[in-house]
């Protein structure tokens, strides 16, 4: 099956909105972002180029899944990761079986010592979110609302998928060795179009909340062990966060993050590689040497006694 449906026409650049609206209506059974990007040659050509390079490392049903409603962005995140890994000259191991019934993380790469690093990609959706409260004088806001409210909306989604993907390790097939390094790659495009400057990921991974400053000049960030999650019935429960400080997450070596789902242009692979941020678990059982990651920014927590500092490395 072709990546893009041949029946979807390529529209002229700068076509009026009415043409796109009509096209989306004609292909209402497909993901609307899929249809739009298929009709836009300046996007379609780069997505197709990435797919042609990566298709041997993707699931057999990738071309079917990417066109289903609600699946385009998450599948494109997998394509973005694969493109970056190949662009940065990593050795990817092709899956022997790529059917749904055969469970393994999305990608497996070899480091410079031929040790396996497994990468599972996930793109959480936003789900149901509560209506925003009116703005209150004296409270810190982003362009669209209270920063803490934004964190309370975004962090449960990140936390939930992180917990789910981490627990999936128990169900992976025999070629996944529990002693191999395990990485989860999270794209937050679906759940946060606001620029939180990495606050959401750092809030989830380390419990690092908003900054506080005393009159004497001392400063820091509030620390949290839990984040609230509101169910549809209105019941609020607390989810555990700060996994990089928890014993039960010692088998999670790192988290790769991005808030951008793809890039376009002649250097699209380079741009995507620079966009990623890798957070290394300072207490992981199977640690990854920071030198093994050759893309984007890299961060790690360094602790001395009860004092910890997140540093770029």
% of the chain beyond a pLDDT of 70: 89
Q: Are residues 52 and 186 in the same domain?
A: no
Q: Are residues 171 and 37 in the same domain?
A: no
Predicted confidence at residue 170, as pLDDT, reads: 84
Q: Are residues 161 and 55 in the same domain?
A: no
% of the chain beyond a pLDDT of 90: 69
User: Residue 175 sits in which domain range?
Assistant: 91-312
DSSP assignment string, the chain: --SS-TTSPPPPTT--HHHHHHHHHHTTTS-HHHHHHHH-HHHHHHHHHHHHHHGGGS-TTHHHHTTSTTTHHHHHHHHHHHHHHHHTT-EEPPPS--STTS---SEEEE-TTS-EEEEEEE-------PPPPPP-TTS-B-SSSBHHHHHHHHHHHHHHHHHHHHHGGGG--TTS-TTSEEEEEEE-TTT--S--TTHHHHHHHH-EEEEEE-TTS-EEEEE-SEEEEE-TTS-EEEEE--GGG-GGGTT--EEEEES-----STTHHHHHHHH-EEEE-TT-SS---GGG--SSEEEEEEEETTEEEEEE-
What pLDDT digit, counting tens, does each position of 183-208 carry?
A: 999 999 888 656 566 889 999 999 99
The answer as to whether 105 is a domain residue is yes
The answer as to whether 84 is a domain residue is no
Q: Are residues 272 and 189 in the same domain?
A: yes
Q: Are residues 213 and 102 in the same domain?
A: yes
Q: Are residues 95 and 64 in the same domain?
A: no
Task: Tell me the pLDDT band of 13, cut-offs 50, 70 and 90.
Answer: confident
Task: Tell me the pLDDT band of 139, cut-offs 50, 70 and 90.
Answer: very low
Identify the residue with better confidence: 171 or 201: 201
Task: Tell me the pLDDT band of 147, cut-offs 50, 70 and 90.
Answer: confident
Predicted confidence at residue 132, as pLDDT, reads: 39
Mean pLDDT, residues 157-181 taken together: 88
Q: Are residues 132 and 180 in the same domain?
A: yes
Mean pLDDT, residues 234-240 taken together: 89
Q: Are residues 124 and 256 in the same domain?
A: yes
The answer as to whether 201 is a domain residue is yes
Predicted confidence at residue 244, as pLDDT, reads: 98
Predicted confidence at residue 34, as pLDDT, reads: 97
pTM comes to 0.89
Identify the residue with better confidence: 225 or 98: 225
Predicted confidence at residue 220, as pLDDT, reads: 84
Domain final residue, candidates 69, 102, 119: 69
The answer as to whether 111 is a domain residue is yes
Domain final residue, candidates 39, 69, 99: 69
Q: Are residues 172 and 265 in the same domain?
A: yes
The answer as to whether 3 is a domain residue is yes
What pLDDT digit, counting tens, does each position of 117-133 carry?
A: 999 999 998 654 443 34
Domain final residue, candidates 20, 35, 69: 69
Predicted confidence at residue 149, as pLDDT, reads: 80
The answer as to whether 78 is a domain residue is no
The answer as to whether 304 is a domain residue is yes
Predicted confidence at residue 150, as pLDDT, reads: 83
Mean pLDDT of the chain, nearest integer: 88
Q: Are residues 168 and 287 in the same domain?
A: yes
The answer as to whether 170 is a domain residue is yes
- The number of folded domains in the chain is 2
Q: Are residues 26 and 133 in the same domain?
A: no
For the cut 80, the answer to whether the pLDDT of residue 17 exceeds it is yes
For the cut 90, the answer to whether the pLDDT of residue 293 exceeds it is yes
Q: Are residues 38 and 107 in the same domain?
A: no
């Amino acid at each position: 099956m072709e990546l893009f449906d041949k029946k979807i026409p390529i529209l002229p650049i700068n076509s009026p909105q009415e043409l796109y609206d009509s096209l989306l209506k004609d292909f209402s059974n497909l993901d609307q972002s899929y249809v739009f990007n298929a009709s836009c040659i300046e996007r379609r050509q780069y997505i197709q180029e990435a797919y042609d390079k990566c298709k041997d490392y993707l699931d057999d049903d990738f071309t079917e899944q990417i066109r289903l409603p609600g699946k385009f962005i998450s599948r494109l995140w997998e394509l973005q990761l694969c493109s970056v890994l190949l662009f940065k000259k990593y050795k990817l191991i092709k899956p022997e079986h790529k059917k749904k019934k055969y469970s393994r993380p999305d990608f497996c790469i070899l480091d410079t010592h031929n040790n396996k690093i497994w990468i599972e990609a996930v793109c959480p959706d936003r789900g149901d979110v509560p209506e925003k409260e009116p703005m209150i004088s004296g409270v810190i806001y982003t362009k669209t609302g209270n920063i803490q409210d934004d964190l309370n909306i975004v962090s449960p989604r990140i936390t939930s998928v992180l917990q789910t993907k981490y627990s999936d390790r128990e169900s992976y097939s025999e070629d996944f060795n529990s002693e191999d390094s395990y990485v989860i790659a999270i794209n937050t495009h679906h759940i946060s179009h606001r620029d939180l400057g990495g606050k959401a990921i750092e809030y989830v991974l380390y419990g690092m909340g908003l900054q506080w400053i005393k009159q004497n000049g001392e400063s820091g960030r509030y620390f949290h062990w839990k984040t609230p999650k509101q169910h549809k019935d209105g019941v609020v429960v607390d989810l555990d966060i700060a996994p990089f400080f928890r014993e039960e997450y010692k088998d999670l070596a790192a988290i790769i993050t991005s808030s951008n789902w793809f890039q376009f242009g002649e250097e699209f692979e380079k741009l995507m590689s620079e966009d990623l941020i890798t957070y290394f678990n300072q207490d992981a059982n199977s640690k990854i040497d920071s030198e093994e990651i050759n893309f984007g920014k890299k961060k790690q927590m360094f602790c001395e006694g009860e004092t910890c500092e997140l540093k770029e490395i």
